[in-house]
Amino acid sequence: MKIYNYPSAAAEKKVSALVNRDLDFKQKDYQVVSRIIDDVRRNGDNAVIKYANRFDAPKLAPGSIKVTAREMDAAVKKVDRRFVRALNRAASQIEAFHRQQVQQSWIDTQRSGTLLGQLVNPVDAAGVYVPGARGGKTPLISTVLMTGIPAKIAGVKNRVMVSPSTRAGGVNPHLLVAAKKVGIKDIYKVGSAWAIAALAYGTETIPRVDVIAGPGNIYVTLAKKIVSGTVGIDMIAGPSEVLVIADHTATPEYAAADLLAQAEHDVLSSAILVTDSDRMARAVAAETDKQLAALTRKEIAGESLKRFGAGFVVEDLDAAVELANRIAPEHLELQISEPFEYIGQIRNAGAVFLGHYTPEPVGDYVAGPNHVLPTAGTARFSSALSVDHFLKKTSVIHYSKRAFKKEAADVMRLAELEGLDAHVRSIKIRMKNP
C-alpha cells in the first residue's frame, strides 16, 4: 500500500482518481444486458430458463423455478444450531433498528379552511435480489436479512426473493432458512440480469414487483439501472469501500485487518487509510502486507490494494475528517481516541464505525443498521437502504370555499406568468360560479 503526504501533488492525483471514479459501465456490457431484458420481457419463463441453463443450472426445468415447500422443509434440517443462533441474533437486532425508521401518515389543519397531509403506504410488492456467490457455496445470508426485514417492517404484503440456482438446481439451505426467518415465502432459482428483468416485467411464474433491492455483479447493477423507472430500485451500487481514520492510539493490526476485509471483496474494491501519524501509516502498511500473505483471497485483495488502496498522512484529525468527507466512502471507521468528538464533522459517509472495537464486519452482519450502502462517492447525496425504500408518500389537499377564494388570485397570477390558460380558467370558473 503506497503512502502519500496530503496535501501534495501526488496525493491530489490519487484522491482525484478516487473521487472521480465512476461505475465504469462498458457499452458492450450495457448492450448485452439490454438484450437479455428485452428477451425476458418478450418471452418470459422461456428466456429465464434459457439463461439459467446456460450460466447456472444446466438441468433447471421451467416447472422447478420456484422453491417448493418440501425444499424449504429440507433446508431447515441441513443447517446447524450455531447458524440458527447467529441468524436469530442478527435478525432481531436488524429488525429493532429498522423499526425506528417507520413513518406515519399525518394531517395538518393549522391553516384556516385547509386540510393538508401525507399518506404513507407500502408498495404492493417488493423483490429481493440475493447474489449466488460462487455457485451457492458462500451464501450471502446477510443480504436476505438486510433487504427482507425493511420490506417486512414497511408492511409490503407481497415479498419475493430471487437467487441464482446452484449447478444442481437448488438454493443454498442457509439462504432458504434466512428467507423463512424474515417471512419470504416465494423464492425463485434465478439470478443475474434475467432475474431483474423478471421482477421488473413479470413472467408466467415470477410476479412483477414495484421495488427491487439487493446487490449484485455488474450485470445485475446494469439491469437495475435499465429497469429503474419501470420499477423502483434501492440504488446503483459499485464495488465496496472502506476508509479508516487512525490516530496514535490505533492498533496497526486492527486497521490492516479492516482494510483487507474490504479489499478481499473485489479487485475493484477500495481500502483507504488516513492518519495524522507517519509512523502509524508505515506500521499499518507493513501489517497489511503481512496479513495479505495469509489470506485465501490474497490475489484479489492484493490487486485491490494496488489499484485502489492508499495511505494518506495528514496534518491533524480535522484534516483527516475533511478528506473523508471529500471521498465520501461507503464505510468510514474512526479508530481514534475520541471518536464521538468528530461525529458532528462527518457529512458524507454511508455508515460510520466508531472506536477500536467496531470493525466494519459487525455492521455487515449483526449490529442492526443496513449494510446496503451508497458507494462511488454517492454518499454525498444518497443513504443506506431503509424502510423508506419500500414506502410511498401521497400528498393530501383540501380547501374550503373560503380558503379557496382567499388564495385564488395568487394562483391565477402564477399560472398567468407560466402561460397556462387552462389553469387560470380552472380557478376563474369557480370564482364566477361559486
What positions carry a catalytic annotation? 330-331
The letter for the amino acid at 294 is A
The residues, any chain, with a CB within 8 Å of residue 168's CB and separated by 6 or more, are 57
Comparing CA positions, the residue from 81, 214, 69 lying closest to residue 151 is 214
Alpha helices, DSSP H, located in 139-209: 141-154, 173-181, 192-201
Q: Coil, strand, or helix at residue 208?
A: coil
Compute the distance between CA of residue 321 and CA of residue 275 in angstroms, rounded to an integer.
10
Residue 66 DSSP class = B
Q: Coil, strand, or helix at residue 322?
A: helix
> Phi, psi at residue 62, to the nearest 5°?
-55, -35
Residue 113: burial class (beta carbons within 10 Å; 0-12, 13-18, 19+)? middle
Comparing CA positions, the residue from 217, 236, 216 lying closest to residue 226 is 236
Tell me if 195 sits within 8 A of 222, measured CB to CB.
Answer: no
